[in-house]
Structure 1
Amino acid sequence: MSGDDRPTLVQQLAEFAVAARNKVPQDVTVSVRQRILDVLGLCVAATELDTSKAALAFVADQGGKPQAHAIGVGRVSAAWAAFGNGVLAHSLDYDDTHLPSILHPSASVVPAALATAERTGAPGDEVIGAVAAGLEICVRTGMAGYDREANNSTFFEHGQHATSICGAIGSAAAAALLLPGSDAKTVADAMGIAVSMASGVIEANRTGGTVKRMHCGWAAHSGVVAADLAHRGITGPPTALEGRFGFYQAWLHGHFEPAEISDGLGEHWEVPLVFFKPYPANHFTHTAVDAARALREKGIRPEDVASAHLGVATPTVRTIGEPLDIKQKPETGYQAQFSGPYAVAAGLFGGGGLAVGLEDYTDALAQDPARRELMAKVTVGGDSECDAIYPFQFPAILTVRTTDGREFVEKVLANRGGSDRPLTDAELARKFRDNAGRVLPQSAISAVEAATLTFGTAAGNTVADVMDMLRFTV
């Protein structure tokens, strides 16, 4: 307890988490199953990346007891399995997003929970509850750093990756719930320990570098380690979040909203509201893809474009529009994922998946002369109409002038994959099958899908069963 005998924030979160371990609402249960399936598909597809191969080779070198599967490696320690799978889950920039906190909760929480559950043999209903609690905690700690006056995440303004920073705390809670005999104190201690392990800087979004792909791996790893240490008796400060030298003072100079953490906790769930990503790119670019695709459907071809301007929310310009010369000439598919001009090109050229897919973000296409010619005509800037909506959506207004003098304006003010434009069950299934199908045979894909979507039922498989279905090496 705090000095006035009221529960501290981590204590409130821990009590909530323990209650959720055995009971969550049905809509949350359905959402969690879908998110686990989404993450597994992303992990499988991401094994093809060179950065993934490097990270997984690193995991294979770490040794330790064989406790859980790192996809593409085999059984390693739970902490290193969480790291490897967390790296894979976030590497394609295809993982879910919560708004307006602007973080990706599942890519760290799910790998941490699965690794721990495989290690302990936890039943499916407890896995569902642990993932649900971890996601909710991750989101709420991120929302506490959202500045409603500035309409932006203070983490983001500081160049901090809330995804991995808050993801470490959510991962610690999820992992702690799945260790035998854990109570609210153990969960609180795990989160308090994870506060000292949380990290992430997003400069790579702007100017390059692949380190961001490691962030969710470190968050998941930190969560598993923190939970294990708490289970062995290491303690965290009870005021780890709100204290004078706590989490929010260290990261946000003490500017945060504690009510975002505690209000409605256990009654209102954010988990079902988290956006699924339809496209494998930075979420700020998705509405640009949709706007360009709408123009393509009206008959506008890439060669028809004389000039184009992509209006977006002002805080996103630094990520997808600056430095403009780099965004107009991405060298790699990874850089293209963070480019507004490339998003316009991808939408106008058209692609696979649910409109554009992984095959549309390759090094070759990033350097394709025809796409570069189009990207050179695309500028990016802040737009007041988009600013009024952001960050509850990532809107875009695309203005195109054609070579014959016509002007077209296409507005996409709500993101596909959110509650305003949800993906159907069939679309989510296609996304998983497309991702997993890059590596796995159809029989394994169907088995994983069926097993994951029945987690927590009498007929449900264990986590170990599912991970065995994903056994392959890179």
Structure 2
Amino acid sequence: MTGTVEEVSDIAARPVTRELATFASEMRYESLPADVIAMAKRCVLDSLGCGIYGSATPWVDAVVRTVGLLGQAQTASAWGRPVKADPLGAAFINGTAAQGYELDDCHDQSMSHYGAGVVPAVLAVAEAMGPFDGKQVVTAVAAGYEVGTRVGNTVSPSAFHRGFHPCGLTSTFASAAAIATLLGLDAEQYVNALGLAGSQAAGLMASQFGAMAKRFHSGKAAQNGIIAALAAREGLTGVRNVLEAPYGGFCSTYASEYDLDYATKGLGEHWEILRNGFKQYSSLASSQTSVDALRAIRAREGISPDDVESVLVETTEMVYVHCGWPYVPNGETIAAQMNLPYTAAVTLIDGTAFIDGYTDERLTDPAILALADRVKVVVAPDLDAGGKDEMRAVRVKLTTKSGAVFTEAVTYRSGHWKNPLSDSDIAAKFENLATRVITDDAAEGIRQAVLDLDGRPEPATELAGLVQQVRE
């Protein structure tokens, strides 16, 4: 069922929001498949690693100071720093931190990063308003991802092309669903929680060109989802048909084209959380197929940066819009991380595109700038005609100064659910990130706690004691 703003009457008649809310409100740990439980744990571990590392950034500093000005009750813990706040403040801080260095997980079809919206909200509420056991935490995380990804799929990529940042939009639903499940809201309350989430969904893609705001969209989504679920529990009503409403609904407002079938198709049989992916590079996901391609060429052919005459990246309209613009340094880390030519240049120089490629001193590195200027991104109609899982497909052609030409095609980035990272890869990434900020013992304690998350009586409290063991 596809809807446009001109074709909405049939769609509006179907209670899509209620179908999704009813399913989620009835979700129980005992009904979750083993692979869904395992994925929920991966999502928690990866999000904690990203957030602990991201906690030391200037944009998180600003959010921490903002929360401090509000004088909140100190009942929930910030990650990676000795700061406490109420659940809203902690979720705001930790959500901003988790999305703080473009390392957080990515659900490719819906173009959103749900870990930064879901995990900070769940752990903050569980710590401050518990006790909640590990099975409740796992179920809440699974519900948040499942609802968020399905809502995201309905409007992707149309909402993005209209200029909205999916993390701010659909992660708000994900957070609301996670907290609604954690608090045990019934179906009617759940409907209202989703309706209230839709009224708070926000985020503008122009932030990708050089604004810290992109980081805080996920923090706000985590915070706003908590507000939606708590307010719904207390009787505040939301738009009850928020997804399908023909005027002023989420889909009809944010997308020129949308497909509501994605919200409910295969509920309980097909789990969208299993299509969540993880990152091994600290750039936006849309540039990572190009990173994979350039790394393959570099390794196979022994290419050095000085050998490169030009790089042509053929790709989709989405990738071109998202990151294909010429790189112009403006002092903002985000502008480099969201730019494919810059990231391609870093990859050719460093052999990867990880944290060290985006430090302040490298944003204006003459070697990177010169190489980035020789990277061209164009739309290839055949790649653009692929399905939603192929939205980031690329063909990369590298030409050397001697005239040799090397090509590499990548359809699914490393970390995509069709090209997944292993559990050991995810654990190694967590350790690499977390131990830059907290002690080795604390990092190992977190890993063990998450591995046995559904067996812990109060995991949020246990994790709170570990995430603040900062290195001296």
Relative to the length of structure 2, the TM-score reads 0.91
Q: Which residue of 2 aligns with 1:126?
A: 136
Q: Which amino acid aligns with 1:214?
A: F
The alpha-carbon deviation at position 209 of structure 1 amounts to 1.4
- Which shows bigger deviation, 208-217 or 181-190? 181-190
Residue 265 in 1 paired to residue 267 in 2?
yes
Residue of structure 2 aligned with 1:375, choices 366, 372, 375: 372
Q: Distance in 2 between matches of 1:290 and 1:191?
A: 37
Contact 2:311 2:398 in 1 (8 A): yes
Quick one: distance in 1 between partners of 2:464 and 2:149?
26
1:38 lines up with 2:50 in the alignment: no
Which amino acid counterpart does residue 361 of structure 1 have in structure 2?
Y
Give the aligned partner of residue 149 of structure 1. none
Query: Within 5 A, what are the aligned runs for 1:126-165?
Result: 126-146=136-156, 153-165=157-169
**For the Cα contact (< 8 Å) 1:102–1:391, is it kept in 2?**
no
Give 2:3's aligned residue. none
Aligned partners of 2:259 and 2:387: how far apart in 1?
19
- Tell me the secondary structure at the aligned position of residue 409 of structure 2: strand
1:62 aligned to 2:70?
Answer: yes
Aligned to 2:435: 437
Letter in 1 for 2:308: V
The gaps in structure 2 that reach 5 residues or longer are 1-9
Aligned pair 1:50/2:53, yes or no? Answer: no
2:302 is matched with 299
In the alignment, what sits opposite 1:24?
32
What is the CA-CA distance between 1:211 and the residue it aligns to? 0.7
**Residue 386 (structure 1) shift:** 2.7
- Residue 21 of structure 1: CA displacement? 3.5
Q: CA deviation at 1:319?
A: 2.3
Same amino acid, percent of matched pairs: 32
Any residues of structure 2 matched to 1:24-423 within 5 Å, and which? 24-71=32-79, 72-118=81-127, 119-146=129-156, 153-179=157-183, 182-205=185-208, 207-243=209-245, 244-252=247-255, 255-297=257-299, 298-322=301-325, 324-326=326-328, 329=329, 331-351=331-351, 355-389=352-386, 391-393=388-390, 394-423=392-421
Query: What CA deviation, in whole Å up to 9, does each residue of 1:193-233 have, x standing for no partner?
Result: 1111111111122x321211110011111010111111212
How many angstroms does 1:65 deviate by? 2.5
1:56 and 1:73 in contact (8 A); partners too = no
Offset at residue 24 of structure 1 (A) = 1.2
Distance 1:177 1:67, change over 3 A: farther
Asked if 1 retains the 8 angstrom alpha-carbon contact of 2:54 and 2:98, the reply is yes
Deviations 1:133-167 (A, max 9, x none): 11111111111113xxxxxx111110011222111
Aligned position for 1:11: 18
One-letter identity of the residue aligned with 2:18: Q
Q: Is the 8 A contact 1:288 1:347 kept in 2?
A: no
Cα distance, 1:472 vs structure 2: 5.0
Q: How far does residue 460 in structure 1 lie from its aligned partner after superposition? A: 5.9
Residue 294 of structure 1: how far off its partner (Å): 1.5
Shift of the 245–186 alpha-carbon distance from structure 1 to 2, 3 Å rule, reads same
Q: Which amino acid aligns with 1:93?
A: E
User: C-alpha separation between the residues in 2 aligned to 1:213 and 1:57?
Assistant: 15
Secondary structure of the residue aligned to 1:20 is coil
- Cα 1:362–1:389 change in 2 (3 A) is farther
SS at match of 1:389: coil
Q: Flag structure 1 segments of 5+ consecutive residues without an equivalent.
A: 147-152
Residue pair 1:309, 1:398 contacting (<8 A) in 2 also:
yes
Letter paired with 2:372? M
Query: How far apart, in 2, do the equivalents of 1:440 and 1:69 lie?
Result: 14
SS of residue in 2 equivalent to 1:187: helix
Q: What is the CA distance between 1:430 and its match in structure 2? A: 0.8
**1:1-23 deviation line (CA, Å, top 9, x unaligned):** xx99x982232222211222433
Equivalent residue in structure 1 for 2:422, among 412, 418, 424: 424
Given that residues 60 and 73 in structure 1 are in contact (C-alpha distance below 8 angstroms), is that contact kept between their aligned partners in structure 2?
Answer: no
CA distance in 2, matches of 1:413, 1:249: 31
1:390 Cα shift?
5.6
For 1:302 and 1:332, the matched residues in 2 are separated by 24
Give the 3 Å change call, closer, same or farther, for CA 238–169 of structure 1 in structure 2. same
For 2:46, give the aligned amino acid. Answer: D
* Shift in Å, 1:325: 4.9
One-letter amino acid of the counterpart of residue 76, structure 2: A
Q: Distance in 2 between matches of 1:375 and 1:416?
A: 22
Q: What is the SS of the residue equivalent to 1:335?
A: helix
Residue type matched to 2:417 in 1? S
2:452 counterpart (444, 451, 454): 454
Consecutive aligned runs of 4 or more in structure 1 exceeding 3 Å deviation: 329-333, 388-391
Query: 1:50-84, CA deviations, whole angstroms, 9 ceiling, x for partnerless residues?
Result: 11111112122222322311222533111111111
